[in-house]
Structure 1
Amino acid sequence: MGGTNQSSVSEFLLLGLSRQPQQRQQLLFLVFLIMYLATVLGNLLIILAISTDSRLHTPMYFFLSNLSFVDVCFSSTSVPKVLANHILGSQTISFSGCLTQMYFLCMFADIDNFLLAVMAYDRFVAICHPLHYTTKMTHQLCAFLVVGSWVVANLNALLYTLLMTRLSFCGDNIIPHFFCDVTPLLKLSCSDTHLNELMILTEGAVVMVAPFVCILISYFHITCAVLRVSSPRGGWKAFSTCGSHLAVVCLFYGTIISLYFNPSSSHSAGSDMAAAMMYTVVTPMLNPFIYSLRNRDMKGALRKVLTMKFPSKQ
């Protein structure tokens, strides 16, 4: 890293929250803490409920448990650092720590993206080809889709990180954000960033848009299949299983597209931070509620977990 990067900056200052008035900082710290605890607790309950209830050992819930695990990791990449900085009264993060945080944020965002597409495909097979569901969605295919998501996401995040190491950071080290994101770092660089920006708009767009297109195609076929159902109640019941997934898709892709695929001139620190907070903190927190509140099987499994009695030690 040192041979290719002539940066004189050894650390960055994450001033996303510290630029707020003191009273608002306290409020934001409390909001971040509550949302992070809700994210960890909610997603871990989802994982525990799925793993302990044999009725939920199906592809749909297998993908959901993986999504919950990734959401915990996603939030844990940025929020604990925000909370620690506030408690310690320090906004610094080392240069290597900043790149490491960026790497894991990119990786977990990509895995979220791929898993949402995989879950859409699972719903497509379940609704459009119900008689062949068990033969199509085999354990081997499910494992391959999840492992493939991790591998591609890691390679994509590694590419962004290696491209960032070739840049120089000469003086300004203030990031008006609460974590090390690609866009704020590119603005601080004093070297040519055209290659990085080109990769975001090409390779990054493919990684993000391709799963999104797969989701749209899946739901187009699902909608056509539902409309062909003679019973309105049966059609609604079939489509209602996709409602939770659609809500998460809209929330996730709406913020991602507004944050990364708008012209750089249209970005402002406030809007960028609000959008980033939506997909790094709010969406992972809402996922367990969205997927469990409208799902009778999931609510039953969660009820069992919450009322579980552990044997007392004699």
Structure 2
Amino acid sequence: MADSEMNRVAVVEQLQALDKQIQKLLSRRRYLRDLKARLLDKPHSTTEVDVTSTPPRAAQFQGQVSFTTAPRRSNDNADEDRWISALQAGVQGYNTSNRHRRASQSRTGSTFSASPVCLQPRVMQLWFTETNMSSLNETNYSVKEFLITGFLRFRDQESRRILFGVFLTVYIFILLGNILLILIFVSDRALHTPMYILVCGLAILDVAITTNTVPSMLVLFTLEYRSVPFAACFTQTAFWLGLFATESSLLALMAYDRYIAICHPLHYSNLMTNLRISKLMASCLVVGFLCAIVTLALVLRLSFCGANTITHCFCDIASLMFLTCGDNMITSYLILSIGLSVSFLPLVFIFFTYVRIIISVVKISSKEGQMKAFYTCGTHLLVISVFFLGVIITDRIPVTSVDNRIMGLIIQNVFPASMNPVIYCLRTREIQSSLAKTLKKCRALAAGK
């Protein structure tokens, strides 16, 4: 039973990929017909091809898929004939175990049906001249909105209720924990030091990252499908990229702060002031959003040819790149290089910084001094490990299905934000002391009332 369910989900995923290819072919076909009409200077009516743009649901998939085409006006259009042949070949590629494909044609249309048990989709190609292809690449068919579908296997109402409850609980926990850290920092003037300014900035980033994605996920779990305008989708992607890059740079800045405190303690008060650390944090924010803007500018240069279904719980850069058409190899490599720079350059900086820190700590003569230095750095190392562990989990999860990829990206967003307040509250004595004072004040106020 489980194997049949897995096979059915695999069928749906491959059908979804085929549907996106067909949408691109439809847009190209319409462009060729319009181009021919302009060249011949005569009006024509575009042949309608009815292909469902919404991806088939796993729960409603019954093993049948059909494509309906309206009658062709004439047989003298070679491009149309090749396109129809390619479409027929793509549908015929879905073969059943020795079942014959049944095709019915009439004056009003042609219907092709196949029962996809063992999917072997053929490559559908169109033969364009260089002139037509260059003109097509310059044309960007406007996509007004994107359809967010979420998980493929958890679209029934019960599964969506469970997901809604789990992520709502996690989101409330993240908000309470990080807002508590921010309030402790604001209320206790003894914590107004460069180290805790960085901790407060990290808490603000965690709240911003989860607020950018989790509420939209909760809406998706309530409605099953969610329609997002073009500009809103790109805005969410920009904030996701910018905040992620900013947090990565902020962790590197925290490592630099610990390096100055341990390796150059006599110069720490001069090198790391509250004003300077605030300026460095602002620089991290500017660099992070600059990387996000450059990345989205590269994506906006590409063409969107009609396919608008995003199989994810929120808008992300990989899903947007998947919907583009044309030659996007160079753009993909540029975006990949930016992503690797944002992720691994701070990690390399942190690694070499802590190598220097460990060398300096080993040279400390007293055991008490060594333990204090390791304890202080251990908290920061835990935070770094949690952040980059989310990235590693995302990369190491086997992409056997779309759901695994979605879950990996959600873990990358939610896991660090939920763990950071726990780490700082359990391992930082100053925060524990300030929290105890705050609780005593609250009890005193409650008793006074």
One fold, TM greater than 0.5?
A: yes
Q: Which residue of 1 aligns with 2:147?
A: 13
Q: Which residue of 2 aligns with 1:277?
A: 410
Question: Equivalent of 1:240, from 349, 370, 375?
Answer: 375
CA contact (8 A) 2:379 2:427 kept: yes
Tell me which amino acid in the other structure corresponds to 2:233: C
Q: Tell which deviates more after alignment, 82-91 or 37-46.
A: 82-91
Once the two structures are superposed, residues 232-258 of structure 1 have per-residue CA deviations (whole angstroms, 9 ceiling, x without a partner) of 343122111122221221222233356
1:311–1:237 Cα change, 3 Å? closer
In structure 2, C-alpha distance between the alignment counterparts of 1:171 and 1:267, rounded to whole Å? 27
Once the two structures are superposed, residues 77-124 of structure 1 have per-residue CA deviations (whole angstroms, 9 ceiling, x without a partner) of 010111122234442212111101000000100110111001011111
Larger radius of gyration: 2
Q: Which residue of 2 aligns with 1:63?
A: 198
CA contact (8 A) 2:145 2:228 kept: yes
Q: Please tell me whether residue 154 in structure 1 is matched to residue 294 in structure 2.
A: no
Q: Please tell me whether residue 215 in structure 1 is matched to residue 312 in structure 2.
A: no
SS in 2 for 1:68: helix
Q: Which residue of 2 aligns with 1:287?
A: 420
Q: How many residues align?
A: 308
Q: Tell which deviates more after alignment, 21-30 or 217-226.
A: 21-30
**TM-score (norm: length of structure 2):** 0.64
Shift of 1:266: 5.9
Tell me which amino acid in the other structure corresponds to 1:12: F
In structure 2, C-alpha distance between the alignment counterparts of 1:280 and 1:87, rounded to whole Å? 20
Q: Which residue of 2 aligns with 1:31?
A: 166
In structure 2, C-alpha distance between the alignment counterparts of 1:180 and 1:131, rounded to whole Å? 48
Structure number with the bigger relative contact order (C-alpha 8 A, sep ≥ 6) is: 1
Of Structure 1 and Structure 2, the greater helix share is in 1
Shift of 1:131: 1.8
In structure 2, C-alpha distance between the alignment counterparts of 1:88 and 1:271, rounded to whole Å? 21
CA contact (8 A) 1:160 1:196 kept: no
SS in 1 for 2:166: helix
In structure 1, C-alpha distance between the alignment counterparts of 2:331 and 2:222, rounded to whole Å? 34
SS in 1 for 2:356: helix
Q: Which residue of 2 aligns with 1:230?
A: 365
Once the two structures are superposed, residues 200-254 of structure 1 have per-residue CA deviations (whole angstroms, 9 ceiling, x without a partner) of 2323322322211111111111111122223334312211112222122122223
Question: Equivalent of 1:200, from 320, 325, 335?
Answer: 335
Once the two structures are superposed, residues 249-283 of structure 1 have per-residue CA deviations (whole angstroms, 9 ceiling, x without a partner) of 122223335647x8xx9685233222211221121
CA contact (8 A) 1:175 1:184 kept: yes
Of Structure 1 and Structure 2, the greater strand share is in 2
Tell me which amino acid in the other structure corresponds to 1:87: T
Q: Which residue of 2 aligns with 1:144?
A: 279
Tell me which amino acid in the other structure corresponds to 1:277: I
CA contact (8 A) 2:150 2:312 kept: yes
Question: Equivalent of 1:81, from 208, 216, 229?
Answer: 216
Q: Which residue of 2 aligns with 1:127?
A: 262
Shift of 1:167: 2.1
Shift of 1:21: 4.8
Q: Which residue of 1 aligns with 2:35?
A: none
* Equivalent residues in 2 for 1:34-49, closer than 5 Å: 34-49=169-184
Q: Tell which deviates more after alignment, 172-181 or 148-157.
A: 172-181
Once the two structures are superposed, residues 173-208 of structure 1 have per-residue CA deviations (whole angstroms, 9 ceiling, x without a partner) of 222211111112212222322233212232332232
Which 5+ residue runs of structure 2 have no aligned equivalent? 1-137
In structure 2, C-alpha distance between the alignment counterparts of 1:17 and 1:249, rounded to whole Å? 29
In structure 2, C-alpha distance between the alignment counterparts of 1:38 and 1:174, rounded to whole Å? 31
CA contact (8 A) 1:5 1:165 kept: no
Q: Tell which deviates more after alignment, 192-201 or 29-38.
A: 192-201
Q: Tell which deviates more after alignment, 52-61 or 300-309.
A: 300-309
In structure 1, C-alpha distance between the alignment counterparts of 2:191 and 2:312, rounded to whole Å? 40
Q: Tell which deviates more after alignment, 120-129 or 190-199.
A: 190-199
In structure 2, C-alpha distance between the alignment counterparts of 1:307 and 1:30, rounded to whole Å? 33
CA contact (8 A) 1:14 1:92 kept: yes
Q: Which residue of 2 aligns with 1:177?
A: 312
Q: Tell which deviates more after alignment, 134-143 or 196-205.
A: 196-205
In structure 2, C-alpha distance between the alignment counterparts of 1:40 and 1:153, rounded to whole Å? 23
1:134–1:249 Cα change, 3 Å? same
Q: Tell which deviates more after alignment, 236-245 or 300-309.
A: 300-309
SS in 2 for 1:6: coil
Q: Which residue of 1 aligns with 2:247?
A: 112
CA contact (8 A) 1:7 1:167 kept: no
CA contact (8 A) 2:150 2:220 kept: no
Tell me which amino acid in the other structure corresponds to 1:295: T
In structure 1, C-alpha distance between the alignment counterparts of 2:337 and 2:251, rounded to whole Å? 21
SS in 2 for 1:178: coil
Q: Which residue of 2 aligns with 1:191?
A: 326
Tell me which amino acid in the other structure corresponds to 1:17: F
In structure 2, C-alpha distance between the alignment counterparts of 1:267 and 1:224, rounded to whole Å? 43
SS in 2 for 1:12: strand
**TM-score (norm: length of structure 1):** 0.89
Which 5+ residue runs of structure 1 have no aligned equivalent? none
SS in 1 for 2:147: strand
SS in 1 for 2:151: coil
